[in-house]
Chain A
Amino acid sequence: EAQVTQNPRYLITVTGKKLTVTCSQNMNHEYMSWYRQDPGLGLRQIYYSMNVEVTDKGDVPEGYKVSRKEKRNFPLILESPSPNQTSLYFCASSLFPASGGEGEQFFGPGTRLTVL
């Protein structure tokens, strides 16, 4: 089954304790992205990657890191989490370049993070 998986699905942590949210896709997609979703703000892009070892900042990159060492994996790293990073996080992937239109992004199930 074609899918994007994220782990963990739920995480409660404390300020300053480094954490990693994993993301993996099995569709051989080149393009992957991380979003955060907060009430009233919709989805905002944190980082994206066009291919292995190619990443770039989205709209809200501060406080986050990413890496793309393998095509299928795109982990999100919070080196020193703070309460304002409490949010719902989504990983997404898509085939790039998509023929014709831009194709669709496939989203993971989400990771709900609480930073105390």
Chain B
Amino acid sequence: LAKTTQPISMDSYEGQEVNITCSHNNIATNDYITWYQQFPSQGPRFIIQGYKTKVTNEVASLFIPADRKSSTLSLPRVSLSDTAVYYCLVGSLYNFNKFYFGSGTKLNVKP
């Protein structure tokens, strides 16, 4: 079971780019890396997913090095509404693996 390690918390200011790194040394060949965002008292919401190299969508980018033992979520020009907990998740439905969310990173965006 591939577990993940993330910083407990991060602070940023509005308009800055934020990079959150996740370590997953035991990632398996079939595992994908997925990031979720969670606001208080709400269910997590999908942000981005990738397998290798770089993935970009309208809200974030995901950078995955060749060895795939870590990944970095990049949020461009954050706003106050980006204050939330961000979870890095490693797993594979194809192998019926269980998903491990970890404790997440609490991002606090200041004005």
Contact = CB atoms under 8 A, between A and B. Distances in A.
Given A94-B93, A97-B93, A102 B34 contact: yes
Interface residues of A, number: 33
Interface stretch (A13-21, A35-43, A65-73, A75-83): A35-43
> SS class of chain B's interface: helix, strand, loop or mixed?
loop
Given A43-B87, A94-B93, A105 B46 contact: yes
Interface residues of B, number: 25
Interface of A: 4, 31, 33, 35, 40-45, 48, 50, 56, 58-59, 88, 90, 92, 94, 96-98, 101-110, 112
21 contacts: A4-B43, A42-B87, A42-B103, A45-B100, A50-B96, A58-B98, A59-B100, A101-B32, A101-B49, A101-B51, A102-B32, A102-B93, A102-B94, A104-B34, A105-B44, A105-B46, A106-B46, A107-B44, A108-B43, A109-B43, A110-B43
